[in-house]
Amino acid sequence: MIFHLQLIGIICIFLSLVHFFFPKYFKWKDELSKLSLINHQMMIIHTFFIGLILFLMGILCITQGQPLINTELGKLITIGMAIFWSCRWLTQWFGYSKSLWKGKKFETTVHILFVILWTYFSAALWYIGLM
């Protein structure tokens, strides 16, 4: 199970770093300029904090595998991460409009990859937390 925690950790760190490219990729300079100042800043600040949480979760999974698996507190933290990723899995299906990906090859591929990734994260973390 250490391997799975470390793999989840590496992927989380990668995902955290990808957040730095969101503003340019999603053309936030143009897109967010249409929003009020508070909404504009909330998008940027929340994206930063999501990236930070992913990075810290990654570090935790990579460096603290044994305690996450073998202690009551570790199991509780792991269950918390399982809840987080299960909610993310639900959001992948029900939070985004199907029109954003359905019938579009690249977007559908990304959607499916994220469904698989969130399923893996959720299943592995639930297993570790409840074993």
42 and 82 co-located in one domain: no
Q: Scan for tokens 């940027």, then name that residue.
A: 44
131 and 78 co-located in one domain: yes
The answer to whether the beta carbons of residues 59 and 9 sit under 8 Å apart is: yes
d(CA 62, CA 95): 29
Q: How many domains does the chain have?
A: 2
86 and 118 co-located in one domain: yes
Within 13 Å of residue 86, how many CA atoms lie on the same side as its CB? Answer: 12
Which of 63, 84, 115 is the last residue before a domain boundary?
Answer: 63
d(CA 113, CA 111): 6
pTM of the model: 0.92
d(CA 12, CA 62): 10
Within 13 Å of residue 131, how many CA atoms lie on the same side as its CB? Answer: 11
Question: Token pair of 5, please?
Answer: 């925690």
58 and 79 co-located in one domain: no
Question: Token pair of 51, please?
Answer: 């990236």
Q: What is the pLDDT along the chain (131 residues), one digit of tens a residue?
A: 999 999 999 999 999 999 999 999 999 999 999 999 999 999 999 999 999 999 999 999 999 999 999 999 999 999 999 999 999 999 999 999 999 999 999 999 999 999 999 999 999 999 999 99
Domain hosting residue 118, numbered range: 70-131
